[in-house]
Amino acid sequence: MKALVYEGVETLAFRDVPMAARREDEHLIRIQASGICGSDMHAYLGHDDRRPAPLILGHEAAGVIEDGQHAGRRVAINPLVACGTCAACTSERENLCARRQIISMPPREGAFAQFVAMPDRNLVTVPDEIPLQKAALAEPLAVSWHAARLALEALHPAMERHALVIGGGAIGLAAALALQAMGVAGVTIQEPNEMRRAFLNDRCGQNVVAEFQGMVPLVVDAVGYAATRSVASAVATPGGVIVHVGLGEDAGGLDIRRMTLQEITFIGSYTYTAQDFRDTAEAIFDGRLGPLDWPEYRPLSDGAAAFGDLRSGVVAAPKIILNPWS
């Protein structure tokens, strides 16, 4: 099969690789759409020790079951494979499973390929009327759905439901959409890239600013750098909530003294539970997250150029989705 292989820092090759091998309890999935995630970019830049070269990246995917009695079933892929038996799994917090695996990290190859193998429990059936390119957004949208859910559960009921999302990439936009779907009317996105601000305003109907002025009860940091954490801890109102979902860099930025004195809740948010993934898929299917017509689509064979364009900051769209067959 063909795959886009990460071969070293800023080096990707579209080439032949061995066919994906499925385990006894898995299906072989013919991938039709696979999105580029920020974590794929971190690996591409050599910033992720969890993803050593050579490796097939990609974990935001949808496709069609190729084998067995379910052949032809259209599915969105939950890429997080949990053990199913530990305390985290049995309490429906599969994202905290100590034995969790995710495609695009060893030992599981990713979905920038024509085929990938996945357990049936990780597959959500996609209705015939929903394009698989849209279904591939379930993974990044689930990341933000999980973050939005945690934020609203922690927010005091008496506080106003206004939010700032820092970062206008796919996770930031998805966080805004999830918050809006959950009843938060006043959402602002802070995004420094002028081209992306215009895209989010004009194409996605979002309220986007270069620099936020004021304070809000709820902040989602979808970037995760010291500078964005500094903004988050400065603009959260007393008693407010910060949800940190970005993985840009490890340290710095938080004003711990202010957060302590003002009782600001800080929540780290990682991926999603299996239920969050299913809920997000349903929200996609019934239109609660909007038309989702903002990704850019390219062939997987042009994947190296797509990564290069993202690296250069010349992509206005929050998401590029790759097709292994075009």
Whether 226 and 155 map to the same domain: the answer is yes
Domain contains 71: yes
Neighbour-count burial for 145-162, b at 16+ CB within 10 Å, e otherwise? bbbbbbbbeebeeeeebb
Give pLDDT tens digits for 125-140: 999 999 999 999 999 9
Whether 37 and 113 map to the same domain: the answer is yes
Task: Give me the amino acid identity at 9.
Answer: V
Whether 189 and 174 map to the same domain: the answer is yes
| CA-to-CA dists, residue 177 to 3, 207, 228, 285, angstroms | 32, 11, 20, 14
Give pLDDT tens digits for 40-54: 998 999 988 999 999
Whether 124 and 146 map to the same domain: the answer is no
Whether 116 and 151 map to the same domain: the answer is no
Residue with tokens 């909530």: 241
Give pLDDT tens digits for 23-40: 888 999 999 999 999 899
| Torsion of Cα atoms, 68 then 131 then 222 then 211, to 10° | 170
Which uninterrupted H or E stretch holds 189? strand 186-190
Contacts of 159 (CB under 8 A, 6+ apart): 217, 237, 239, 240
The pTM for the full model equals 0.94
**Tens of each residue's pLDDT in the chain, 326 residues:** 999 999 999 999 999 999 999 888 899 999 999 999 989 998 999 988 999 999 999 999 999 999 888 999 999 999 999 999 999 999 999 999 999 999 999 999 999 999 999 999 999 999 999 999 999 999 999 999 999 999 999 999 989 999 999 999 999 999 999 999 999 989 999 999 999 999 999 999 999 999 999 999 999 999 999 999 999 999 999 999 999 999 888 899 999 999 999 999 999 999 999 999 999 999 999 999 999 999 999 999 999 999 999 999 999 999 999 999 98
Whether 124 and 187 map to the same domain: the answer is no
Q: Tell me, what CATH number does 46's domain have?
A: 3.90.180.10
Residue with tokens 């695996």: 101
Residue 86: both structure tokens together = 């530990």
What's the full length of the chain, in residues? 326
Whether 123 and 158 map to the same domain: the answer is no
Domain contains 288: no
| CA-to-CA dists, residue 219 to 44, 86, 166, 236, angstroms | 29, 32, 8, 6
Give pLDDT tens digits for 156-174: 998 999 999 999 999 999 9
CA distance from start to end of the chain:
14
**How many structural domains compose the chain?**
2
Closest CA to 326 of 14, 8, 13, 42: 14
Whether 49 and 124 map to the same domain: the answer is yes
Residue 87: both structure tokens together = 């305390």
The residues facing 80 across adjacent strands are 102
Whether 253 and 299 map to the same domain: the answer is no
Whether 151 and 44 map to the same domain: the answer is no
Q: How many CB atoms lie within 10 A of CB 8?
A: 12
Instruction: Please tell me the number of Cα atoms within 13 Å of 106 on its side-chain side.
Output: 10
Q: Tell me, what CATH number does 159's domain have?
A: 3.40.50.720
Domain contains 300: yes
Task: Identify the three-state secondary structure at position 116.
Answer: strand
Domain contains 282: no
Domain contains 280: no
User: What is the structure's pLDDT at 25?
Assistant: 87
Range of the domain at 174: 141-268
Whether 20 and 119 map to the same domain: the answer is yes
Whether 128 and 149 map to the same domain: the answer is no
